[in-house]
Chain A
Amino acid sequence: MNARPMHFVSPADFRERVSDALQNRELRSSMRGAMDFLQSKRSAQFTDADELEQLRDLGEAVRQHALANLPDLLVQFEASLQAAGVHVHWAATADDANAIIHGIAQKHGARSIIKGKSMASEEVELNHYLAERGISCVESDMGEYIVQLADEKPSHIVMPALHKTRADIGVLFEQHIPDMPYTEDVDKLILAGRRTLRQKFADADIGLSGVNFAAADTGTLWLVENEGNGRLSTTVPDVHIALMGVEKVVAKLEHIVPLASLLTRSATGQAITTYFNLITGPRRAVELDGPREMHVVLLDNGRSQAYADQQLRSTLQCIRCGACMNHCPVYARVGGHAYGTTYPGPIGKIISPHLLGLKDTADLVTASSLCGACGEVCPVRIPIPSLLVRLRTEANRDPAQQVEHPLRGQGANFSRSERLVWRFWSGAFARPAIYRWFRWAATRLRAFAPSSQLGWTQHRTPLIPARRSLADLLRERGQAE
């Protein structure tokens, strides 16, 4: 298991960060603006509700088909990759993945790695692992680059620097880019980022990327982007390493057509992104560019725990579009950093317990009103609200209880006194005499209700029983049974 602590913050401190975030007016207003923007971009893409629902059915079917065959598809994918001349590695944990990538870098004497956007590499905290070993990773996606300069983590899986204003970025660039004057002009800022990073593409020893989709039949990696940094990272350096979760593979290249449409439309409201970069193997003898060596690292890191349980398996249907967070009232108010996990928002709440264990993430699954917005927009129909309820159940389950698919950290939020209260309540409910007595006592003794009621009164007025119970009132009206 991955025993290394999270580098920046811990999801276990979620509650403290939430109250800080809620007090931050600037963050609140920039989050609101960003959410409105992303929501309207998405809805403009899905004007035909029937088409949307059919496509979601299809996306769900493709992902479920792939997951049902996952072990066989991974073996087939591995064989297709190897036939194309790609080296395949398997990483059970984050540390395994880091060690594999470090090993490849060492073999080539690499000092610098240019990175296309990869959430999996954020998940394993590759940059810090390699930095500690003298290898520098430079993020080349503009948003990731901004976040790296600020020594932060992405606050959104598609728009990493969503929390930053152009003024914040103006200051960052002025501090970090030589001869760069302060500006809030977005075109000038992007041009500065382009100029700074251009030489890095040419100089890097290794390019590292994530993978959006992978086809088992052809061994193709399907990368989706707008900037061209993903193409540069996977084309210019002599070695390309792709890091991907094991769940990304689908059976056939043709199965990606509906997923690609769902991804770009749900994520950024684009019918298609500027580049779909389909990679099937390294440079061949007759070719004059492209990496001479290619590696694919298949990452488990807790995914197989989600896979083991039929209900939780649907977590792995995710195509990382970010629509759930864009529509989440909690995410919109606290922002991505409050979660303290690589994947924030609703998808983060349901995947992080598998990656990190429930011990550190038990509070995350409670941070939902279960309004259902995430489930309604999910392009592959992950039933996020019911998975949240399930994970709450597991977090509150007696750690000693034997279950078929125990989750790491089962019972992290378990409390004996809470269990006692529920036992009393369910016992009282089943025995009318005790229940009636309790009801009588609660209404008559309402003056003694404590003004401080644990967590409840932190943000709310105390609960005080009514003068008369509903049953009493009905009886007085002669409406009781």
Chain B
Amino acid sequence: MSAMSARERILGSLRAAAPVPTPDSRALEQCINHHHGHGALRTASPSQRADVMERVMSSVRTDVWRTDRVSWPALLAEKLMQAGVQRLLLNPACAEGAALAAALSPGVQALPFAQPLEAWKDTLFSDVDAGFTVARSGIAATGTLVLAPDTGTPRTVSLVPPLHVALVHASTLHADLHEAMHAEGWSAGMPTNLVLISGPSKTSDIQQTLAYGAHGPRALWVFIVDDVQEMRA
């Protein structure tokens, strides 16, 4: 029952049944691009996309703020203070993390993700109130954040603390998943983890009744930074 023999047995029986040569997938991709490449938001402006993003995310109990490049740190800092957040995970090495850290009121402590998860797992699970991330991009049609965790902002920042706060720039909003995947060239280089987030954690596993806060963050705050109007101005 060695692994090699199982491999050969499985592949052997499949090959015996499918001697056909590999069909070309170009026609298939044309059909996919035809179907998904004409979404309603393809021609929408960034601010129209931001409108849709806001509407769709709000409909699944996400708190959304529209803000600009200058005022978001103060706005977010105020909201964090009001919500009673005391320990906030952020990456001080990125520009947005540094700006937020500088704006935080004295009662809110900024924590960097400075050591491997296993070195401080219990603290992360029990003592951190919120995690701050900057989305790589967003997907307007489905109200989705695209997160590519990295060294400064690992995967658990958007997963373990009960509140996840995400910043997304309006200029990065894609119309739909198909556009996001192609525009960002996902196939050419996937990170170890790419996460699409469309609201706070939820479940309908008890008698089809929707309840938020199953295992992931119980609340999701999204700050859409309108960086497009500034570019035009």
Contact = CB atoms under 8 A, between A and B. Distances in A.
B10 interface: yes
Interface size class of B (residues with CB under 8 A): 35 or more
Interface in B210-232: 211, 213-217
Given A69-B22, A90-B3, A231-B159, A271 B206 contact: no
Interface in B172-218: 177-178, 181-182, 186-187, 190-209, 211, 213-217
Contacts of B154: 287-290
Interface residues of A, number: 101
A18 interface: no
Given A72-B22, A91-B6, A235-B159, A288 B113 contact: yes
A228 B14 contact: no
Interface string A54-68: 110110011001011
Interface stretch (A300-308, A344-352, A429-437, A447-455): A300-308
Interface stretch (B28-36, B70-78, B102-110): B28-36
A202 B196 contact: no
B171 interface: no
B28 A272 contact: no
Contacts, number: 265
Contacts of A175: none
Contacts of A235: 155-156, 159, 193
A197 B130 CA distance: 19
A310 B64 CA distance: 51
Given A161-B205, A232-B159, A304-B13, A288 B117 contact: yes
Interface string B1-32: 10100110111011111101011010011011
A164 B207 contact: yes
Interface stretch (A136-144, A393-401, A466-474): A136-144
Contact of A257 (B7, B117, B178, B193): B178
Contacts of A182: none
B215 A232 contact: yes
Nearest to A162: B208
Given A194-B214, A227-B214, A288-B154, A257 B181 contact: yes
Interface string A165-192: 1100100000000000000001101110
Given A186-B211, A190-B203, A278 B193 contact: yes
Contacts of B113: 288-289
A153 interface: no
Contacts of B69: none
B215 A194 contact: yes
A100 B3 CA distance: 9
A362 interface: no
A258 B31 CA distance: 10
A244 interface: no
A293 B10 CA distance: 25
B142 interface: yes
Nearest to B178: A257
Contacts of A118: none
Contacts of B155: 231, 235, 289-290
Given A96-B1, A273-B198, A276-B195, A253 B190 contact: yes
Contacts of B35: 54-55, 58, 258
A46 B197 CA distance: 22
Contact of A161 (B142, B177, B206, B213): B206
Interface string B84-118: 00000000000000000000000000000101111
A159 B198 contact: no
Interface in A96-136: 96, 99-100
Given A228-B216, A235-B193, A257-B178, A169 B10 contact: no
Interface stretch (A4-12, A30-38, A335-343): A30-38
A258 B198 contact: no
Contacts of A273: 198
A290 B13 contact: no
Nearest to B196: A276
A190 B211 contact: yes
Nearest to B33: A254
Contact of B202 (A62, A92, A226): A226
A284 B192 contact: yes
Contacts of A72: 22
A455 B171 CA distance: 69
B150 to A, nearest CB: 8
29 contacts: A65-B23, A90-B3, A90-B10, A92-B10, A99-B1, A141-B205, A142-B205, A186-B209, A190-B206, A197-B215, A202-B121, A226-B202, A226-B214, A251-B25, A253-B181, A254-B178, A255-B25, A257-B177, A258-B36, A272-B142, A276-B195, A277-B195, A278-B194, A280-B194, A281-B192, A287-B151, A300-B6, A304-B17, A307-B18
Given A65-B28, A255-B28, 13 more contacts: A58-B31, A90-B7, A186-B209, A190-B211, A194-B214, A194-B215, A201-B125, A232-B215, A257-B181, A274-B216, A277-B196, A279-B193, A307-B13
Interface of A: 30, 33-34, 37-38, 54-55, 57-58, 61-62, 65, 67-72, 74-75, 84, 89-92, 96, 99-100, 140-143, 146, 159-161, 164-166, 169, 186-187, 189-191, 193-194, 197-199, 201-202, 217-218, 220, 226-229, 231-232, 235-236, 238, 246, 251-255, 257-258, 260-261, 268, 271-284, 286-290, 298, 300, 304, 307-309, 313
Q: Which 7 pairs, one residue from A and one from B, show the smallest C-beta to C-beta distance?
A: A228-B216, A143-B205, A227-B214, A289-B117, A276-B196, A142-B205, A90-B7
Interface of B: 1, 3, 6-7, 9-11, 13-18, 20, 22-23, 25, 28-29, 31-32, 35-36, 60, 113, 115-118, 121-122, 125, 141-144, 149-151, 154-156, 159-160, 177-178, 181-182, 186-187, 190-209, 211, 213-217
